[in-house]
């Protein structure tokens, strides 16, 4: 794999319940909405589950995701192709934390920051 080893850990506060954050991360229709800058492979099930493998594209760069762990407050994705590593999500009432490590030519911290800001904006539109 070409690129450099990178790691990024970010945590933000959100005005949202544990359930709303969980659904935004695990339901594929909501995932597509807030990660609008990525294209996802066709045929994603309604909910992410362990063992599921899918691909997303950021421009011409394909990233394969294998869902490793799904729990009530945790999601772990094993990444390959454009990023060789993993992405972990943890959440609770009012917060979400993202940990991303891998080898890539992509600027992982910049992409992770952008994604968390998109998630915050999306959740703000979902909260009455």
Mean pLDDT of the chain: 94
Cα angle value 94/21/56 (rounded, 5°): 135
Domain boundaries, the chain: 15-126
Average of pLDDT values for 37-46? 92
Three-state SS at 115: helix
Q: How many CB atoms lie within 10 A of CB 115?
A: 18
Give CA–CA dist 20/48, Å, rounded. Answer: 15
pLDDT tier at 127, thresholds 50, 70, 90: low
Share of the chain above pLDDT 70, in %: 98
Tell me the pTM: 0.93
Per the listing, tokens 């990178």 go with 6
CATH of domain 15-126: 3.30.530
């Amino acid at each position: 794999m070409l690129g450099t080893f990178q790691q990024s850990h970010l945590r933000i506060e959100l005005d949202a319940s544990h359930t709303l954050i969980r659904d935004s991360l695990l339901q594929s229709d909501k995932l597509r909405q807030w990660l609008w800058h990525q294209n996802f492979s066709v045929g994603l099930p309604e909910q992410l589950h362990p063992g599921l493998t899918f691909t997303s594209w950021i421009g011409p760069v394909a990233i394969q995701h294998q869902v490793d762990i799904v729990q009530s407050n945790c999601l772990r994705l094993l990444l390959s192709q454009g990023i060789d590593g993993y992405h972990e999500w943890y959440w609770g009432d009012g917060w979400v934390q993202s940990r991303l490590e891998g080898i890539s030519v992509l600027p992982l911290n910049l992409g992770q920051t952008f994604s968390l800001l998109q998630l915050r904006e999306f959740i703000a539109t979902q909260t009455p």
